[in-house]
Structure 1
C-alpha cells in the first residue's frame, strides 16, 4: 500500500511538471517559424514530385495572408519548380530534405523585427 502511494505521488509530480509550459522566447518562436518554412519547402517539393503544377501551387500560396510567409513560400515555389524533373526523381527523399534544410537555414538568418502571423505547416 505504501509503495502505491509513493508511485501515485511521483506520478502526480511528473504530471505537474508537464503541465506548466513557459512561454516561448522570441528566438524560440522564430526558430519554430523557420522549421515550419523548412517543412513547407519539403511539402512543396513532394507536391511537385507528385505532379502538382506550378500554377496550382501558386494559387494555393496566394491565399497566405502574412507578407513574410508569402515571400518565403513563393521563393520556395520558384526554387522547386526550377529544378529539373530528373533531379527531383533521382533521390526524392534527399532532395526534399535538402530543400527543407536550405530554407530553414535561410529563414534562421533572415533579419526580422517582428514575428509573422502564421499557421504551422
Structure 2
C-alpha cells in the first residue's frame, strides 16, 4: 500500500457518502417504492454510491473504507433528518452519534491502516 494516497481516493469516498445520503433521504419518501421519483433517486443514488465506493475500496482496507463510509453516512443522514424533517434526538442518540464521530476520527487520525 502506498505511503500517501492520492486525493482522488478521498474524493471518491466523499462522493460515495453523499450519494448514499441522498439515496437514503429519498428512500424514506418512496412509500415502499410506489412513488416513482423518490424510487428512481433511491436506486440511482445507491448505484452511484457503490460505484464511487469501488475506487477507495481497491486502495484502502475494506473495513476502514466501510467504517468511514457508514459512519459518515449515519451522521449526515441523521443531520438531514434533523434539519429537513425536524426529527429530534434524545441524549442517548446524541451520545451514540458522538461515539461514531470519535471512531471515524480515531481511524483517520491515528490508524496506520489508512496509509496517509
Q: Name the TM-score class by shorter chain.
A: 0.3 to 0.5
TM-score (norm 2): 0.39
